[in-house]
Each structure stands twice: as structure tokens, then as C-alpha cells.
């Protein structure tokens, strides 16, 4: 449910994003009026130990009372890191009584990428067609990310720099063969990118995508923010 009593003109004016779905910890904060900053740390297994300390230090000089909403990378990604980030973000949103936007890790990575020819269609390289609408529209963006047990996560988005992403094929875990079949049968030109490193740096994209939803009047409740794991952390026996 996207019903929240606060209006779009709430006095609180900052958005905060948290990204813990990889070995990197990423934070971003902005008032979307020229003041923004972000930071990442490669904490690996120490992420759970240091997250709260880093968050308290990062948010300064702003305070919790300055926040209008929280955004969080919901996965796919590392199971433990994703869970820790989701729990932290949900707890903050509940305690502060502010909306929370759970953003796909793959969507944020797609949003962070500049359009780069050549584009791929049906497995063949093509010249990039002209950009449309003043360069705001791009061809479809296909994102893949390694998963456990020889599988991978894949998703396809339509990207518009004004209105955000449109999900054309949702985050799905599958075999490399199934993903390739999906791409081979894709009807439009697309840019294929692989999310293997630097995921924490896409925390700014998590914040930007959340802000686009905020501008459209969405106010998701903390209880609606759910992680996307895609796989169990340990193979079933």
C-alpha cells in the first residue's frame, strides 16, 4: 500500500539511501536542490559491525529529523548484507514515520550507466540508433549479475532520464542458458551490462530512483519494503 499521511510539501527535505547488497557499504543523501553527497567503503565481512557507526557519522551535519524519506537497495546481492540494510532502513522508516523506497540493485546499476554503443540485438552488434527526445530516451538496458551455483540474475529496463526506469523483465534468477535465450528473443535493441563490481557506488542511483517515485506522490510504508534474495543462501539438501 502506498498510502502515507505526509504530503509532498513536508517540511523534512532530505532523502537518505543505503546500499549494503554487496561487499561495499554505500550511503547517499540529498535535498535535491544542489546539496548532495555520497560515500562508499569496502567493508566486506565487517559491514554488519560498522554500518551503524558509519551511518551516524555520515548523516552529519543533518539529523534524523531532516529526513523526508529513506531508500534502500533491496537486492539481489549478498544475502547477509542485503538483509542488514533492509532491516536498518525499515527500522529507521518506522521510527521516523517516513516513507521507504526499496529499489532493485539491478535497476540502480542500470540507472547509473551512461548509454554506450554498440548496442546488442539478438546477439549481434549494431550501430547505436539516434537518441530520442533530446537524448532522454535510451534503448533497453539488460543487466546481469552472477548468482550462486552457476546461475545469474537478469533484468531488462527501459530508461528515461526524466521519469526513471520501466521494468520490462523483472529481476529473475536463472541459468546462463535461459538468460541468453531471453536476450536472443528480445524484440528491441538493448545495451547489455554486467553488475560485478562497484555496486556500492550506485547508492546515488538508488536515491535518485526513489526521489522520482517520491515526486510522483508515492509514499510506501515501512512494512511494504521487502528484500529480493532470489536464492536461498545455502543450497537445499
Higher pLDDT, 138 or 39: 39
Domain with CATH 3.30.420.200 in the chain: 109-194
Closest among 98, 93, 94, 73 to 83, alpha carbons compared: 73
% of the chain exceeding 90 in pLDDT: 60
pLDDT value of residue 121: 45
Domain with CATH 3.30.420.40 in the chain: 14-107+198-224
pTM, two decimals, is 0.82
Which segment of 9-13, 53-57, 81-85, 218-222 scores lowest on mean pLDDT?
9-13
Judge: domain 14-107+198-224, CATH 3.30.420.40.
yes
Judge: domain 109-194, CATH 3.30.420.200.
yes
Give the integer Cα–Cα distance in Å for 64 and 89: 12
Mean pLDDT of the chain: 83
pLDDT value of residue 198: 77
pLDDT value of residue 46: 85
Task: Give the tens place of pLDDT for each residue, 192-215.
Answer: 999 987 788 999 999 999 999 999
In the predicted model, what is the mean pLDDT of residues 48-62?
A: 93
pLDDT reading at 128 higher than 50:
no
Amino acid at each position: 500500500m502506498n498510502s502515507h499521511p505526509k504530503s509532498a510539501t513536508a517540511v523534512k527535505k532530505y532523502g537518505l539511501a543505503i546500499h549494503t547488497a554487496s561487499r561495499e557499504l554505500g550511503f547517499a543523501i540529498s535535498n535535491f536542490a544542489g546539496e548532495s553527497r555520497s560515500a562508499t567503503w569496502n567493508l566486506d565481512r565487517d559491514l554488519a559491525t560498522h554500518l551503524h557507526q558509519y551511518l551516524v557519522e555520515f548523516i552529519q551535519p543533518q539529523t534524523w529529523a531532516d529526513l523526508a524519506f529513506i531508500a534502500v537497495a533491496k537486492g539481489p546481492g549478498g544475502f547477509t548484507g542485503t538483509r542488514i540494510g533492509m532491516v536498518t532502513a525499515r527500522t529507521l522508516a518506522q521510527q521516523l514515520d517516513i516513507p521507504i523506497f526499496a529499489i532493485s540493485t539491478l535497476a540502480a546499476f542500470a540507472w547509473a550507466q551512461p548509454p554506450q554503443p554498440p548496442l546488442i540485438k539478438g546477439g549481434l552488434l549494431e550501430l547505436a540508433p539516434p537518441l530520442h527526445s533530446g537524448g532522454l530516451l535510451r534503448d533497453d538496458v539488460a543487466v546481469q549479475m552472477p548468482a550462486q551455483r552457476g546461475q545469474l540474475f537478469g533484468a531488462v529496463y527501459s530508461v528515461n532520464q526524466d521519469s526513471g526506469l520501466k521494468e520490462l523483465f523483472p529481476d529473475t534468477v536463472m541459468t546462463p542458458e535461459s538468460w541468453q535465450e531471453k536476450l536472443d528473443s528480445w524484440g528491441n535493441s538493448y545495451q547489455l551490462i554486467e553488475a560485478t563490481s562497484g555496486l556500492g557506488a550506485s547508492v546515488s542511483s538508488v536515491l535518485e530512483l526513489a526521489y522520482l517515485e517520491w515526486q510522483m506522490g508515492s509514499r510506501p510504508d515501512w512494512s511494504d519494503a521487502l528484500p529480493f534474495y532470489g536464492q536461498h543462501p545455502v543450497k537445499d539438501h
